[in-house]
């Protein structure tokens, strides 16, 4: 199980072993168990695998947490080329900077769970026709949605 919530202004994901991934949407800083992973490369810490790729001078994150593929797209306004889409692969959990442009990108990713963040998260959800109640947290269960995407609106 993975818990997703905000601690202050930081998005935090905690797995069942209490290992933590934290992401600060404003600065785009990503920490894996307190370790700064804001550089391209492959990392493994506390049983969590991570690959960080740089495309068009922007960083993208692909974690494997408890068998789930978690992708963080911290920025908006980039062209979704085949190279970046293949890096994302099959996405179980997607943290995406919310905007109208991100909604178009989302349609080519097809994540099982989408968690928009940032000032444009409501615009992102509305563009996709999603009217999801805000919640303080979300628990990713063992069985993920199969045929549709579950949208999460965190406060």
Map out the domains of the chain with their CATH numbers: 2-154 (3.60.15.10)
Q: What is the pLDDT of residue 30?
A: 97
CA 101, distance to chain mean position in Å, is: 16
Distance CA 134, CA 132 (A): 6
How many Cβ atoms are within 10 Å of 112's Cβ, its own excluded? 19
How many residues appear in the chain?
A: 155
Q: Which strands sit side by side in the sheet containing 20-24, from one edge to the other?
A: 35-36, 29-32, 20-24, 10-14, 2-7, 137-140
The pTM for the full model equals 0.95
pLDDT at 77 over 80: no
Confidence of residue 80 (pLDDT cuts 50, 70, 90): confident
Q: What is the pLDDT of residue 78?
A: 79
**pLDDT single digits (tens) 26-73:** 999 999 999 999 999 999 999 999 999 999 899 999 999 999 999 999
pLDDT at 141 over 90: no
Q: Which residues of 49-83 are buried (b: 16+ CB within 10 A; e: fewer)?
A: ebbbbeeeeebbbbbebbebbbbbbbbbebebeee
Query: Which DSSP symbol is given to 112?
Result: S
């Amino acid at each position: 199980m993975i818990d997703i919530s905000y601690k202050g202004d930081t998005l935090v994901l905690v797995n069942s072993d209490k290992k933590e991934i934290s992401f600060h949407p404003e600065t785009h800083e990503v920490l894996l168990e307190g370790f700064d992973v804001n550089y391209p490369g492959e990392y493994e810490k506390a049983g969590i695998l991570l690959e960080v790729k740089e495309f068009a001078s922007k960083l993208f994150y692909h974690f494997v947490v408890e068998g789930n593929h978690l992708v963080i797209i911290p920025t908006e306004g980039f062209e979704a080329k085949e190279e970046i889409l293949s890096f994302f692969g099959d996405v179980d959990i997607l943290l995406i900077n919310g905007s109208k442009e991100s909604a178009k990108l989302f349609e080519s990713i097809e994540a099982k769970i989408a968690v928009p963040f940032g000032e444009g998260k409501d615009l992102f959800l509305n563009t996709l026709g999603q009217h999801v109640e805000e919640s303080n947290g979300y628990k990713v269960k063992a069985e993920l949605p199969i045929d549709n995407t579950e949208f999460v609106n965190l406060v």
